[in-house]
Amino acid sequence: MKLAFFSLLYSVHAVYANISPYNHLLRARGAAADDKTILNPPPVPNPAPPKAFNIQLQSGGAAGLSIKHDGSFLGFSIEFSVSDQVIGKSGNNLNTPFLNLMANIKARAGKVVIRVGGNSQENATLVPSLAPGVTILKNGGSGQDDNETPSLSFTPDLLYAMSNVSSLTNAKWYFGIPFLDLSKLQLNLIELAESTLGSNLLGLQGGNEPDLYGGHGKRGTDYAPQDYFNDFGVLVKAMGDDGQIQQKNLLVAPSVCCQWSPEDVFKTGFLDTYGDKLTAIAVEHYPTNNCGVNGKVRSPQDLFPTFLNHTSAQSLTTPYANAAATAQSLGKPFLMFETNTASCGGFPGLSNSFGAAMWAADYALQMAYYNFTTALLHVGGQSEFYNPFTPPTTKSGLGWTIGPVYYSSLFVAEAFGNSGNAQIVDLNGNGGNIYTPAYAIYENGSPARLVLFNYVTDPSGANDLTVSVSIGGGSAGGTSSVRVRYLTSGSKSVSETQNMFWAGQTLGLPNKSDGTLQGEQVTTTIQCNSNTCAIPVQAASVALVFLTPDAEKESSQSASLSSSVTGKASPTSKSTATPKKNNNQDGATGSGAASRYTIPVMSTVAAVAFGMSLLFG
Ligand SMILES: *[C@@H]1O[C@H](CO)[C@@H](O)[C@H](O)[C@H]1NC(C)=O
Ligand SMILES: *[C@@H]1O[C@H](CO)[C@@H](O)[C@H](O)[C@H]1NC(C)=O
Ligand SMILES: *[C@@H]1O[C@H](CO)[C@@H](O)[C@H](O)[C@H]1NC(C)=O
Ligand SMILES: *[C@@H]1O[C@H](CO)[C@@H](O)[C@H](O)[C@H]1NC(C)=O
Ligand SMILES: *[C@@H]1O[C@H](CO)[C@@H](O)[C@H](O)[C@H]1NC(C)=O
C-alpha cells in the first residue's frame, strides 16, 4: 500500500530527494560493491573538442572571482541511520578506515566538514542506552539504508564517537534535529550535541527537505512554505526557552531540495524573522534519481553522457545564484547540504565510475565559483552505488569500498588548499567547449592553481589535450616550471569502476581499502618556455596545476599529528580508547581531547600524516 502511494507520488512530481526504502525492495539487490556493471563510455564527440588551447592568466586578480574558499569545501553527509556503521559505534570504537579517510582530507585542507542526518534523522529518538554494542536501533524494518522516516533510537555514543573523530581529524559537524513531531522536540539532544561537540558543532538542521513533507506524509498534503515557517518558529521558540542551550543561533535551513525553491521559503519572511538564529542557509539536490518511478527504471547507460560534460555542473548550479547572493549579503554560509549523482542510491556503473569522480569535481568547483561555501556528498547504506566510502557488509575481514567521488574530495581539497584564500573562476576554457572545462584558483590576487578537465574517453591518445598556460603581469611573470597532479583511471575511461588514482595514489580496489593512500605520490614537473607552460591532459582525466611552489605547499600533507602514538591497524580494526565519563561537558571547549585519547587508532591516522604507506593485507 505504501508502495502504491509512493508510485502515485512520483508520477506527479519529479522528486529527486533521497528516498530509498521501496526502491530497495524493487531492486532487491545486495551490497553495491557486488555489482559488476560497466557502462560504455560516450563516443568521442563529433566534432571532437579542439585538442589544444591557450589560457592567459594575469596577476592582479580576475573578473568574476568567487568568495574565498578552503580545501574542506567538498565534505560528506552521512545518512543518520547508518552513521554508526560508518563512523563507529562509540567514542572508543571508531572505524579506523573512516578515520584515515577523514585524515586524508584534513592533511590537505586542515579540516573536514561532515553532516550526520538525512531523512532518517526525522523520527530518531535519543535514548540513554540500548543493548550492549548497539548505538542505533531501527525499530522495525531491517533497513540498512537511508529509509524515508524509519523510527529509530540512538544513544549518546553516536555523539561521543563524532567528538572523538574531531579530536583525531579536526572534523566539523552538522547534525540533524528530528523534526517529525514538533510536540516532542528533543531539546536534550540539542543540549547533548552542543556540550559534546563544542566548537566542532557547526550547525543544527531544522527540517530536512520540508518541501517533501506534504507529499511524503510527514505533514498534511498541502504543507506549504508558510507551514514550514510556522514549524521552524516552534523550534526557535523552544530553543530560546531552554536555558541549557548556550547557542540559539546554530540553525541550518531551509534545506529544500525539490518542490520549493529557497526563494519560496524566503518569501515567507523566513530570513527576516529567523536570520539571527541561522548559522547557514542550506539546500539539497540530486541531478536525477533511481527511485524506479512507476516501475520505470532509468537507464544508467542513457544517463551517463549527461554527467560527462560541463553543462551538468552549470545547470545544477545556476538555479542557486540568487540564493547564494542572498546568503552572501547576510554574511551566511550557503550549503549544498546533501548531493550526489542520483538519489535512491545512484546507478550501477555510473555512480561508481571514474566519470562520477570527474563530474563531482566539476560540480564542486562550479558550486564554489557560484559562491556556495560547502558541498556535502551523501553517504548512504551498503547498497548505494554513489557512496564516497562504504564499510564492509559483514565482519568478513573485507576492507572498505572507496567510491570515485571520494577522490573528488581529495582533488578539491588540494585544488583549494589550506590557506582559506582560494578564489575560483570558471575560465570558459577552449572556447567554452563543454568537454574541456577549465578553472583558475587565485589567492591574494595571483593565479595559484589551474584545473583542466578532459571528459572525452579515447585511450588511443588521439584526443589528449594540450593546454598552454601563460601568466602575465606582476611577480608571477617569468614562470620557469609548474607542477601537475592528475586524477586518472586505470583504463583511461570514464567507465572504469575499479582502478582510480589521484596523483598516482589509490585508495585500493572495492572491498580492499583501509582508507590510506597506496603508492607513491606523483607530481609532474612541466618546464615552461618563454613563460608559457604546455600542460598535457590525457583523455579522460583532470589535471591540477600548481602555478607556484607556495600553491603546491598549501595543498600538501601536513604532518601535524602527534608522533607519540603507536599501534597496529587493519582495515577492520577498531580503536580501543579508554572511555572517560559519558557526560563529557568539557568537550565544549575541546581542550585536552587529543591527550586523553591514548590509543592504537591513531596509528594509521598518524601514518597518513607522516606519509607512510600501510598496506592492507
Ligand atoms: C566485495 O565483497 C563481496 C562479499 O564477499 C563480493 O560479493 C563482491 O563481489 C566484492 N566486490 C568486488 C567488486 O570485488
Ligand atoms: C571519546 O569517547 C568517550 C565515550 O565513548 C568519551 O568518554 C571521551 O571523552 C571521548 N573523548 C574525546 C576526546 O572526546
Ligand atoms: C515515529 O516513531 C515512533 C516510535 O518511536 C512511532 O510510534 C511513530 O509512529 C513514528 N512516526 C511516524 C510518522 O513514522
Ligand atoms: C551534456 O550534459 C547535459 C546536462 O546534463 C545534458 O543535457 C546533455 O545531453 C549532455 N550532452 C551530451 C552531448 O551528452
Ligand atoms: C560570487 O561572489 C563574488 C563576491 O561577492 C561576486 O563578485 C561574484 O559575482 C559571485 N559569483 C557569482 C557566480 O555569482
The CATH number linked to 206 is 3.20.20.80
Question: Domain boundary residue among 498, 530, 555?
Answer: 555
pLDDT at 577 over 60: no
Ligand nearest to the CA of 92: 2
As for ligand 1, residues whose beta carbon falls within 6 Å of it are 33-34, 398, 510-511
How confident is residue 477, by pLDDT bands cut at 50, 70 and 90?
low
Domain endpoint, select from 528, 555, 582? 555
In this structure, the answer to whether residues 312 and 378 fall within a common structural domain is yes
Question: Are 443 and 379 members of one domain?
Answer: no
Ligand of minimum distance to the alpha carbon of 455: 4
pLDDT on residue 34: 62
* 614 domain-assigned: no
Please name the residue whose Cα sits nearest to atom 1 of ligand 2: 91
Spacing, Cα 309 to ligand 4 middle (Å)? 6
One domain for residues 480 and 411: no
Does residue 47 have a cis bond before it (omega within 30 degrees)? yes
For residues 235-249, average pLDDT: 98
- How many A from CA of 65 to the centre of ligand 5? 6
What is the rounded CA–CA span in Å between residue 74 and residue 600? 28
Give pTM, 2 decimals: 0.88
CA distance 187 to 417: 37
Residues 6+ apart with CB under 8 A from 237: none
For the chain, what percent of residues have pLDDT higher than 70? Answer: 81
Contact 395, 507 (CB under 8 A): no
Ligand 3 geometric centre to CA of 125 (Å): 10
> DSSP states of 143-176 as a string?
--S--SS--EEE-THHHHHHHHHHHHH-EEEEEE
CA 32 to centroid of ligand 1, rounded, Å: 9
Q: Whose Cα sits closest to atom 6 in ligand 4?
A: 306
Residue 592: inside a domain, yes or no?
no
Instruction: Answer yes or no: do 415 and 437 share one domain.
Output: no
- The answer on pLDDT for 200 being more than 70 is yes
pLDDT score at 299: 93
Residues 340 and 293 in one domain: yes
Residue of 160, 170, 602 with the most ligand 2 atoms within 8 Å of its CB, for mutation:
160
| Residue 394, phi then psi, degrees to nearest 5 | -130, 180
> What are the pLDDT digits (tens) for 368-388?
999 999 999 999 998 899 999
The three state secondary structure string of 549-609 is HHHHHCCCCCCCCCCCCCCCCCCCCECCCCCCCCCCHHHHCCCCHHHHCCCCCHHHHHHHH
The Cα 147–Cα 124 span in angstroms is 12
Is the domain of 329 the same as that of 439?
Answer: no
Name the residue with the closest Cα to ligand 2, atom 14: 164
Is the per-residue pLDDT at 558 higher than 70?
no
Q: What is the mean pLDDT of residues 119-128?
A: 96
**Which grid cell sits at 167?**
579530536
| Closest C-alpha residue for ligand 1 atom 10 | 34
**Structure confidence at residue 231 (pLDDT):** 98
> How many C-beta atoms surround the C-beta of residue 65 within 10 A?
16
Give pLDDT, residue 60.
Answer: 87
User: Are residues 121 and 212 both part of a single domain?
Assistant: yes
Give yes or no for a contact between 250 and 203, defined as CB atoms under 8 angstroms apart. yes
Closest ligand 4 atom number to CA of residue 42: 14
Residues 114, 138, single domain; the answer is yes
Residue minimizing CA distance to atom 2 of ligand 3 = 151
Instruction: Give the rounded percent of residues in the chain with a pLDDT score beyond 90.
Output: 77
pLDDT digits (tens, 9 = 90+) for 131-171: 999 999 998 654 444 445 779 999 999 999 999 999 999 99
Residue numbers of the domain that contains 483:
424-555
| Ligand 4 site residues, Cβ closer than 6 angstroms | 305-306, 309, 311-312, 315
pLDDT digits (tens, 9 = 90+) for 31-88: 666 678 999 999 999 999 999 999 999 988 899 999 999 999 999 999 999 999 999 9
Tell me the pLDDT tens digit for each residue of 495-553: 999 999 999 999 999 999 999 999 999 999 999 998 899 999 999 999 999 999 999 99
Reported as half-sphere exposure (CB side, CA atoms, 13 A), residue 492 has a value of 13
Confidence of residue 394 (pLDDT cuts 50, 70, 90): low
- 596 Cβ inside 6 Å of ligand 2: yes
Pocket-testing residue among 81, 122, 123, 216, ligand 3, by greatest number of atoms within 8 A of Cβ = 123
Q: Domain of 535: which CATH number?
A: 2.60.40.1180
How distant, in Å, are the alpha carbons of 84, 119, 210 from that of 137? Answer: 10, 15, 24
Contact 66 CB / ligand 5 (< 6 Å) = yes
Does the pLDDT value for residue 23 go beyond 80? no
| Residue of 30 and 511 predicted with greater confidence | 511
Q: What band does 587 get if pLDDT is binned at 50, 70 and 90?
A: very low
Pocket lining: 532 vs ligand 3, CB cutoff 6 Å? no
Residue 603, pLDDT above cutoff 60: no
- Is the pLDDT at 16 greater than 50? The verdict is no
CB 486 within 8 A of CB 354: no
Mean pLDDT of the chain: 86
Q: Please count the structural domains in the chain.
A: 2
